[in-house]
Amino acid sequence: MHWLGPMAYFSHGPSSYASVWDQFWVPCPFPVAIVHSQRVNHSEKKDVLYGSVEVEIHSGEPAVLLSYEWFATYAAKQLGITIGKCWAPQKPHHHRLTLLKSVHIYKKHRVQYEVRTYFRHMIYERLTESTLKTFLEYIQRNVPEGVSLKISKKSFMNLPAQLTDHVSSVTLKQIS
C-alpha cells in the first residue's frame, strides 16, 4: 500500500480514519507491565494553623464593598471556613485638600476637594494554610476595580523548647 497523503485517508469520514490507524498498529513482542509508582515525600511540611485571618477592604464606594463582602463570605461558606465577625466603621475616612482657584492670587477664592475612603473588615477563624491559600487566591483574583485588600494573619505556633522544658519542670515540682 502506498502513502497517499492525509486527505486521501481522512476525507471519507470516521470509518476510514479508524482503518488507517489499524494498518499501523503493531503488537508488542514482549509482555509489558504497567507500574504506577507514587512518590512519597517524607520531608512533607506540616500545615500551619491560623487562629484568625482579618481581611480589610478599602474603596471609595460603599456599595461595592458590601457586594464584595457578600462574595467573600459566600466563598468562605462554600469552602467550609468559619466566619467570625464582619463589620464596617460608622464613618468613612475623609481626606480634604484646599487649593486656590486661581494660579496666581485671589486668596479668598478657593476650592476644596474631598476623598472619602470606606472600610469593611471580615474575620475568618480556624484555618489551615492550604485552605487559606486557596481562599485568598480566589478572593484576590476577583477583587473589583477600586478596591484594595489588607490581610492580617494570626497563626498558632509551638512553644520554644526552653519554655516547654521550664514549664514541665515547674509542674513536676508543684505536683511533688
Lowest mean pLDDT among 11-20, 60-69, 85-94: 11-20
- Residue extents of the structural domains in the chain: 49-84+118-156
Quickly state the pLDDT bin for 70 (edges 50, 70, 90).
Answer: very high
Could you read off the pLDDT of 140-150 as tens digits, one per residue?
999 999 999 99
Quickly state the pLDDT bin for 9 (edges 50, 70, 90).
Answer: very low
C-alpha cell at 128: 489551615
* 117-146 average pLDDT score: 95
Could you read off the pLDDT of 35-45 as tens digits, one per residue?
555 665 555 67
* 151-174 average pLDDT score: 81
C-alpha cell at 111: 476650592
Nearest-angstrom CA–CA distance, 85 and 65: 15
Nearest-angstrom CA–CA distance, 72 and 140: 10
Proportion of the chain above pLDDT 70, given as a percent = 74
Tell me if the pTM is above 0.75.
no
Considering the domain 49-84+118-156, what is its CATH architecture?
2-Layer Sandwich (3.30)
C-alpha cell at 99: 487649593
